[in-house]
Chains A and B, each alone.
Chain A
Amino acid sequence: MFDRRLAIAFVSFAWLACAAAQEGPRLGVPATPEQVAGWDVSIGPDGAGLPPGSGTAAAGKTVYEAKCIACHGVDGKGQPNDQLVGGQGTLRDAAPVRTLGSYWPYATTVFDYVRRAMPYVAPHSLTADETYALTAYLLALNGVIEQNAVMDATTLPKVVMPNRANFDSAYREPRKR
């Protein structure tokens, strides 16, 4: 280990040289696994963290018509807000129609977004089963899955969206300085 005074001298020098290398007072309080589990709602493409539960398009249609149709229209056709269905084959057009069926690269994103942000007036109000069912309904309306397919933590990450292969990351890691 460093001599403590030497370490302090080094830190002082580093402070002058690079503000980003500052040391903080270390006031973070350890988070328990239960606390993390309660906050961590985000779902990535691998589906890690998807909750127990399941749903089908038929169940999803019932939820949709009760809670979503006012903003997204009959059968996800849109108006007054985003269109959710259709648009396949339009992405090279002058006015492409970007829906979750024509554009979105990952099916897990549908579950993630619906669960945390929809319905607009009452986010975080849907059960896991309702969210799986709505996801199934929207994917089936777009012809991405069969009408009777069951969406759950195992099946949803395996769904391959039609436009999946048409995205490229523009991000490049900076070179080490």
Chain B
Amino acid sequence: MTKPKELDSLEQVAGNGLLHRRLFLQGGAAALAGATLMTARAAPPDVPASMKMPGAPMRGYGERSPHEAQVARVVNATPGTTGTGGSRTPLESLEGIITPSSLHFERHHSGVPDIDPAEHRVLIHGLVERPLIFSMDALARYPMVSRIQFLECSGNSAAQNNAEPPQQTAGGIHGLVSCSDWAGVPLAVLLAEAGVKPEGKWLLAEGGDAASMSRSIPMAKAMDDAILALYQNGEHLRPEQGYPVRLFLPGYEGNMNVKWLRRIKVTAEPTMTKDETSKYSDLQPNGRAKLFTFPMEVKSVITSPSGMQTMREPGLYQISGIAWSGFGRVRRVEISADGGKTFAEAALDGPVLPQALTRFRMPWRWNGNPSVLMSRAVDETGAVQPTRAALIGTRGTAYRYHYNAIQSWNVAQGGAVSNVYV
């Protein structure tokens, strides 16, 4: 019954029970059935209640099952406010690469404004031939593009700078990253209509919130792949994602993707706003700070199993997680189950898209002993996700932003999963 190929696929490829990534991809079911120690669950009644009467009516706008109500963002507001701060995507509760719009992370600096699209306008001015005002109706007439791309706050995972590892879920630590299908109008088309003057090398993007969130964007990025996003996962943006229009800059740190966009001013130099100088700048151990570190570096995190979860029993599991890079596609992800002594390559769900979350998977036979799981991503530029020790060693712990080190999860005897520094 068991074919030689399946036997091969169950061979260990790295230390402490990591199995070949093809196990789950080809002939997997048969091999899995023979290999697992899954205990039989109590069977449901032969004819459940749901089959004995008609179900609920249709509805105009769907809601998730009430059985999933516990899946929620981790909300942390700044003291004295309700709308400022961040809420994190529960990464450990999600699969695939698309983040449901309702669970997309939030990072606001003065709450979520309520904007009527009929009243909203986008002004393009400054070093342009023709200052122009665009209504939302007008923008809807422009050619659009749609792309599946991640968005990550550059302050994501910052608690990993703490002396002691924060004991939270994967989302609680790393959940300031989400991935959506964003659709909108290429900014280059609108800038061309306004006519950028040769000395216009930067632009200031300003939001219509109570913080007037403002960031300077290089003209090269604006002309390359920036869009004025109007849609997220097929429907108009959610208010907390910038309704009715936000800037979207693929791969760049989240804060620059200005929500509730109302103004673009073309300038010769950066405006040096508060949120690109006093915040979102990177202080190094020598006292010098870096401005304008825009792309988010290669990164990954195992979401299953992950922090605060418990593995019930020894046996065959699928390690699963997400990887991404602001510099392009994820080339490969390597997994270790022995604290980094040995690594093996995980399978990547396709298609692997540039600047998008990429789902990786790896079969693992847990023998019930303490184990440390790690994932290490490599992007198409060859950049390798660093260890925490290497990252902290060069940047110190006051750097605050752009933390992208390897995440280690400890699986204790008994199955409790916790955050560890290795």
Q: Tell me whether B132 and A167 are in contact (CB under 8 A).
A: no
Interface members, chain A 111-125 (any B CB < 8 Å): 112-113, 116-117, 120, 123
Q: Is A52's CB within 8 Å of the partner chain B?
A: no
| Per-residue interface assignment for chain B, residues 250 to 287, with 1 indicating a CB less than 8 Å from any chain A CB and 0 otherwise | 00000000000011010101111110011001110111
Q: Tell me whether B396 and A168 are in contact (CB under 8 A).
A: no
| Per-residue interface assignment for chain B, residues 178 to 217, with 1 indicating a CB less than 8 Å from any chain A CB and 0 otherwise | 0000000110111011100000000010100011101000
Q: Which residues of A contact B145 (CB under 8 A)?
A: 19
Cβ of B351 to closest chain A Cβ, rounded Å = 18
Cβ of A28 to closest chain B Cβ, rounded Å = 3
Q: Tell me whether B123 and A168 are in contact (CB under 8 A).
A: no
Q: Is B225's CB within 8 Å of the partner chain A?
A: yes
Residue of B nearest to A82 (CB): B278
Q: Tell me whether A31 and B210 are in contact (CB under 8 A).
A: no
Q: Is A156's CB within 8 Å of the partner chain B?
A: no
Max count, chain B CB within 10 A of own CB: residue among A22, A95, A108: A22
Q: Tell me whether B186 and A20 are in contact (CB under 8 A).
A: yes
Instruction: Out of B220, B287, B397, name the residue touching A173 (CB < 8 Å).
Output: B220
In this complex, how many residues of chain B approach chain A with their Cβ under 8 Å: the count is 68
Interface members, chain A 92-114 (any B CB < 8 Å): 92-96, 98, 100, 103-106, 108-109, 112-113
Residue of B nearest to A28 (CB): B132
Q: Tell me whether B398 and A25 are in contact (CB under 8 A).
A: no
Q: Is A3's CB within 8 Å of the partner chain B?
A: no
Q: Which residues of B contact A127 (CB under 8 A)?
A: none
Q: Tell me whether B289 and A168 are in contact (CB under 8 A).
A: yes
Q: Which residues of B contact A91 (CB under 8 A)?
A: 283, 287, 289
Q: Is B231's CB within 8 Å of the partner chain A?
A: no
Q: Tell me whether A167 and B291 are in contact (CB under 8 A).
A: yes
Q: Tell me whether B188 and A20 are in contact (CB under 8 A).
A: yes
Q: Which residues of A contact B225 (CB under 8 A)?
A: 20
Residue of A nearest to B271 (CB): A44
Known: A24-B193, A44-B271. A39 touches B123 (CB 8 A): yes
Q: Which residues of A contact B281 (CB under 8 A)?
A: 167
Q: Is A54's CB within 8 Å of the partner chain B?
A: no
Q: Which of B74-82, B301-309, B364-372 contacts A (4 or more CB under 8 A)?
A: B74-82
Q: Tell me whether A109 and B212 are in contact (CB under 8 A).
A: no
Q: Tell me whether B132 and A116 are in contact (CB under 8 A).
A: no
Cβ of B273 to closest chain A Cβ, rounded Å = 7
Q: Tell me whether B110 and A109 are in contact (CB under 8 A).
A: no
Q: Tell me whether A117 and B143 are in contact (CB under 8 A).
A: no
Q: How far is the CA of A45 from the CA of B274 in the complex (A)?
A: 12
Q: Is A41's CB within 8 Å of the partner chain B?
A: yes
Q: How far is the CA of A94 from the CA of B285 in the complex (A)?
A: 8
In this complex, how many residues of chain A approach chain B with their Cβ under 8 Å: the count is 55
Q: Which residues of A contact B292 (CB under 8 A)?
A: 169-171
Q: Which residues of A contact B131 (CB under 8 A)?
A: 30-31, 35-36
Q: Tell me whether A42 and B193 are in contact (CB under 8 A).
A: no
Q: Tell me whether A171 and B294 are in contact (CB under 8 A).
A: yes
Q: Which residues of B contact A166 (CB under 8 A)?
A: 287-289
Q: Tell me whether A36 and B283 are in contact (CB under 8 A).
A: no
Cβ of B202 to closest chain A Cβ, rounded Å = 10
Known: A24-B143, A104-B278. A120 touches B289 (CB 8 A): no
Q: Which residues of A contact B396 (CB under 8 A)?
A: 94
Q: Is B224's CB within 8 Å of the partner chain A?
A: yes
Q: How far is the CA of A21 from the CA of B224 in the complex (A)?
A: 10
Q: How far is the CA of A156 from the CA of B141 in the complex (A)?
A: 44
Q: Tell me whether B223 and A120 are in contact (CB under 8 A).
A: no
Q: Which residues of A contact B142 (CB under 8 A)?
A: 24-25, 27
Q: Tell me whether B271 and A170 are in contact (CB under 8 A).
A: no
Interface members, chain A 25-50 (any B CB < 8 Å): 25-31, 35-36, 39-46
Instruction: Out of B189, B223, B288, B294, name the residue touching A168 (CB < 8 Å).
Output: B288
Q: Tell me whether A109 and B287 are in contact (CB under 8 A).
A: no
Q: Tell me whether A168 and B290 are in contact (CB under 8 A).
A: yes
Cβ of B212 to closest chain A Cβ, rounded Å = 4
Q: Which residues of A contact B125 (CB under 8 A)?
A: 31, 36, 39-40
Q: Which residues of A contact B283 (CB under 8 A)?
A: 91, 96, 98, 103
Q: Tell me whether A28 and B263 are in contact (CB under 8 A).
A: no
Q: How far is the CA of A70 from the CA of B192 in the complex (A)?
A: 46
Cβ of A87 to closest chain B Cβ, rounded Å = 11
Cβ of B397 to closest chain A Cβ, rounded Å = 7
Q: Tell me whether A117 and B110 are in contact (CB under 8 A).
A: yes
Q: Is A81's CB within 8 Å of the partner chain B?
A: yes
Q: Which residues of A contact B135 (CB under 8 A)?
A: 27, 29
Q: Tell me whether A80 and B123 are in contact (CB under 8 A).
A: no
Known: A24-B185, A24-B193, A120-B81. A36 touches B123 (CB 8 A): yes
Q: Tell me whether B288 and A28 are in contact (CB under 8 A).
A: no
Q: How far is the CA of A80 from the CA of B225 in the complex (A)?
A: 40
Q: Tell me whether A28 and B398 are in contact (CB under 8 A).
A: no
| Per-residue interface assignment for chain B, residues 50 to 75, with 1 indicating a CB less than 8 Å from any chain A CB and 0 otherwise | 00000000000000000000000000
Q: Is B218's CB within 8 Å of the partner chain A?
A: yes
Can you report 8 A-B residue pairs in the complex whose CB atoms are below 8 A from each other? A20-B223, A28-B134, A31-B132, A39-B262, A44-B267, A112-B273, A120-B84, A171-B218
- With A22-B189, A94-B397, A105-B272 known, 9 other A-B pairs at CB within 8 A are A19-B143, A24-B142, A30-B133, A42-B206, A98-B283, A109-B274, A112-B271, A120-B80, A173-B218
